[in-house]
Chains A and B, each alone.
Chain A
Amino acid sequence: MVSVDDFRRKAAEAIADARMQGALERATAKFREGRTRALAELPDADALRDHFKRVRAATLARLAEHLETFEQNALAAGAQVHWCETAEDAARLITALAAQHGARLAVKSKSMTTEEIHLNHALEAANVQPVETDLGEWIIQLAHEPPSHIIGPAIHKTREQVAALFSREVGRPLPPDDVGVLTAEARRLLREKFLAAGIGISGVNVAVAETGSVVLVTNEGNGRMVTSVPPVHVAVMGIEKIVPTWRDAAAWLALLARSATGQPMSIYTSVITGPARAEDPDGPREVHIVILDNGRSRALASPFEEALQCIRCGACLNVCPVYREAGGHAYGNPYSGPIGAIVAPLLFGVEAMSGLPQASTLCGACLDVCPARIDIPRMLLEWRAVEVERRLVPWYERVGERLAAWVLAHPRLLRLVRRLAATGQRLFLRDGQIRLPGRWHPAGERDLPALASRPFRDWWRENA
């Protein structure tokens, strides 16, 4: 549940946390600058984005067909394909796979989708220990926290906090100012996990229908370990993560890395097409691909279809002025920021996520940077209209808005209401603004403007 009040409360905590604010501001600034620079390097970034938007829209228009082609080709390559309608189906299936292979330890690589289906809880309940191997994911796992950014899950943590978490894990103090030592320790610890794991679980950045391949990008190389060291690899993908051809996948990957971190390409790009063949020196014996719906198909042919064009680059989060203050935890689900405010109501129900479409000033910065040019502000407006229709906004707001609209449509009435309000406000005037006593304050510290002593229309009558 994330109501307006829930969002407010968690955001206020983040705002009061100066360290978190500093970390958020630094990290998002770095990503923003990187993105701007990387896109400027392309000969025509805007044309590529237009092209990409068309590719995404065309793919979604024939989604079922592409998924079926993908399945056929993945099966032909020796992978096993599972279709899961709900989060529970998927979590149950993956836990069963782990049990079937007697896995006690599961290594994981960057996957918001497994967060979405609460896979770690399910695994733990079945006595399988999940270990996140993406550095950021591992940090927040050690801190027992949810991710706060789509691509930088630990974006809100300072180096000192990370050093403290790692020190606790290795049982001796590690220097906060030496990133080299910290990463070397992490690598050593995680290597042990890779070798001991019975199953590797990853997300999917993009799936390619023409060869039945799944593609995974990482910057740390943990992705290729997760998908090749354990005997079984499970890849979890939302139904929307698909392109027809490799040419389309190339556009996807070029825009993803540039929009996310400002890299021309991620450091590691792993392509998995079925399990290891007889002649392969290594690789998993079994590859399972989980195709997850979990509410996504409801968006098809709805005003929210565009949301499925998202490639989870996080660019919209980095520019979002609300996200930059509130941080990712305020969104109360794995998908934070502007796109999270659209996607979370889709996946978890707008009743449960009613606060998120309200957590925006509709400034449009997200639309400016999105590589797929997803019109997030327009969909926020759509969600708000749905919330009004389903009576998810408090009754006093509904009454207030309707009353206000009615008064505004009747100039004579407006004149009367205005006169009453102008008299009432005198009690609270200070320096021409209204300053309300502390706990009545609807706007926090902010002063409210006073009604003018004479409206414009009165001036006009005399000066026309």
Chain B
Amino acid sequence: MQRVALFVTCLVDQVMPEIGIATVRLLRAAGCEVVFPEAQTCCGQPFFNSGFRPEARRLAERTIAAFEPFDAVVAPSGSCTTMLRVEYPHLLGDRPGWAHRARELAAKTYELSEFLTQVLDWDPPRRVAGVRVAYHDSCHMCRLLGLREPPRDALRRAGYDLVEMQEPDRCCGFGGLFSVRMPEVSNAMTAEKLAQATDTGAHVLATADPGCLMQMRGLARERVRIEHIATLLAASLEA
């Protein structure tokens, strides 16, 4: 049995715990022992992206220390996974002692759908049928991690009918603080995204990023249902 440490991300912990709960169920159903290191808080991405490097470094070091004892780390978030896997080694690259530890963590960190399909070769009972899902590629996940196929693969394995939007990898307009600093531009971007999603006639718009989810839900209201892949995938276990 594989022992997996869950990096739940601050947004999921505080705002959307159902994503974390679904992730635990998925990993357990797939035969993993799940651990939640309670010392974790935030990966530091919001600070890193706004130029607050010392703050980002401190949170990065905290996260590394919290996850060091485990063999695999899984996060239900493309952008937080990117932070751990791609940015930590940059951020701590010139810090004696930390550079190595950052690389070690990077090498064992996975995004949820990637872990399910590529490491565990997940084979769910497929209890959902006839639900059309469009998948929104979150930016960091598809461009920096190169993960375009795993979330789609996972959704298909769960039994969903996947439909493609016109520009699945067009940014949803979130960008962390950007969405607050420039709300007009941010919202216009989200509106485009939602329009392209509704054009597909999909019942649900799925994403692997809590940040994108929050952004799109904030503007979608009744127009289209938006879900995290974790909750959609977990539905295939129950139904």
A contact set with B: CB distance below 8 Å:
4, 7-8, 11-12, 15, 321-322, 325-326, 358-365, 367-368, 381, 383-389, 393, 397, 401-402, 404-405, 408-409, 411, 414, 418, 431, 433, 441-452, 454-457, 459-460, 463-464
Contact with A along B133-169 (1 / 0, CB 8 A): 0000001100110000000000000000000000001
Tally of contact residues, B, Cβ under 8 A: 62
Which stretch of B108-116, B176-184, B231-239 is in the interface?
Answer: B176-184
CA distance A445 to B179 in the complex (A): 11
Majority SS of interface residues in chain A? helix
B13 near A456 with CB under 8 A, answer: yes
Q: Which of B51-68 contact A (CB under 8 A)?
A: 51-53, 55-56, 58-59, 62
- A456 and B17 in contact, given A405-B52, A408-B10 (Cβ under 8 angstroms): yes
CB-CB under 8 A from B17, the residues of chain A are 452, 454-456, 459
Known: A321-B189, A358-B178, A408-B59. 14 other contacts (CB 8 A): A11-B184, A321-B192, A358-B182, A361-B179, A361-B186, A362-B175, A393-B51, A401-B52, A405-B52, A411-B38, A414-B41, A452-B16, A455-B14, A463-B21
CB-CB under 8 A from B12, the residues of chain A are 456
Whether a CB of chain A sits under 8 angstroms from the CB of B81 is: no
CA distance A103 to B56 in the complex (A): 58
A361 near B139 with CB under 8 A, answer: yes
CB-CB under 8 A from B219, the residues of chain A are 445-447
CA distance A414 to B59 in the complex (A): 14
B218 near A8 with CB under 8 A, answer: no
Which stretch of B42-50, B96-104, B119-127, B200-208 is in the interface?
Answer: B42-50
A405 near B14 with CB under 8 A, answer: no
- A433 and B175 in contact, given A358-B181, A359-B185, A361-B139 (Cβ under 8 angstroms): no
B175 near A418 with CB under 8 A, answer: no
CA distance A445 to B220 in the complex (A): 11
B49 near A362 with CB under 8 A, answer: yes
CB-CB under 8 A from A402, the residues of chain B are 52, 55
CB-CB under 8 A from B53, the residues of chain A are 385, 388
Name the contact of B15 in the complex, choosing from A8, A365, A452, A457 (C-beta under 8 A): A452
A/B interface sample: 6 pairs, CB < 8 A:
A405-B47, A408-B42, A411-B41, A442-B183, A446-B218, A456-B20
| Residue among B48, B180, B182, B221 having the largest count of chain A Cβ atoms under 10 Å | B182
Name the contact of B139 in the complex, choosing from A363, A411, A464 (C-beta under 8 A): A363
Whether a CB of chain A sits under 8 angstroms from the CB of B88 is: no
A409 near B41 with CB under 8 A, answer: yes
**How far is the CB of A329 from the nearest CB of chain B, in Å?**
13
Nearest A residue to B79 by beta-carbon distance?
A: A362
Whether a CB of chain A sits under 8 angstroms from the CB of B77 is: no
Nearest A residue to B17 by beta-carbon distance?
A: A456
- A444 and B38 in contact, given A384-B51, A385-B51, A401-B55 (Cβ under 8 angstroms): no
B218 near A452 with CB under 8 A, answer: no
CA distance A363 to B174 in the complex (A): 9
CB-CB under 8 A from B48, the residues of chain A are 381
A457 near B36 with CB under 8 A, answer: yes
Whether a CB of chain A sits under 8 angstroms from the CB of B217 is: yes
- A446 and B20 in contact, given A405-B47, A457-B13, A457-B38 (Cβ under 8 angstroms): no
